[in-house]
Amino acid sequence: MGVFMLQDDIYISSLLDLLNLRFGPSEGTSPDQFSGIDEMVELQKEFQILKKGRSFKDTAAILNLGGFWNARSKNRWFNLLESLKKVGSNRGDLTGDQAIVDALMANLSGKEPLPVHFTSHDLRAKGDNQVIIKEAQRSVFYIEQQYLTISIPMKPRPATKSPRKK
């Protein structure tokens, strides 16, 4: 949410990109192309990175998905992810945080795990202040691939006037 990230809101798309690379489609089948969702499946089996009771924020921290630009933007991003405990989801009574963790756990342990596409949506529309999870949809038009899509509600911060030299 822009209001969480403040002037660091310019990093939001890059932070979503980090998630999308980590949970995205694998780059290939050779050992030197082991990546994306295939790697996440193996990491989940070995280390239980996602588990009930662990927040998505903590999982993102474990995976170093807070950006490397500066500590302030990383901490603001993690605060934004932590705030998902306070919003609902389109998954019944689950909070946004619980819904993300449950959906990722189920996906990673499934017979054919889908890559995951993380995105955001404007929470200001009526009923949109919730995490929205959709299974098996084509989230990225330029890749013919089904994804598990996770959309995080965000609200833009008010525009600020830039200081001008006189």
Higher pLDDT, 144 or 3: 144
pLDDT in tens, 58-89: 999 999 999 887 898 898 889 999 999 999 99
Structure tokens at 135: 């299974």
pLDDT in tens, 83-111: 999 999 999 999 999 999 999 999 999 99
pLDDT in tens, 138-157: 888 888 888 999 999 988 77
**By three-state DSSP, how is residue 145 classified?**
coil
Check if the beta carbon of residue 38 is closer than 8 Å to that of residue 31. no
DSSP string over 104-137: HHHHHTSSSPPPEEEEEEETTSTT-SEEEEEEEE
Query: Is the CA virtual torsion 31, 36, 40, 43 positive or negative?
Result: positive
Q: Answer yes or no: is pLDDT of 1 > 60.
A: no
Structure tokens at 129: 């202040």
Extents of the domains making up the chain: 2-154
Element (H, E) at 152: strand 147-154
Mean pLDDT over the full length of the chain: 88
Q: Please give the pLDDT value at position 165.
A: 66
Structure tokens at 23: 């949970």
Structure tokens at 118: 């993380």
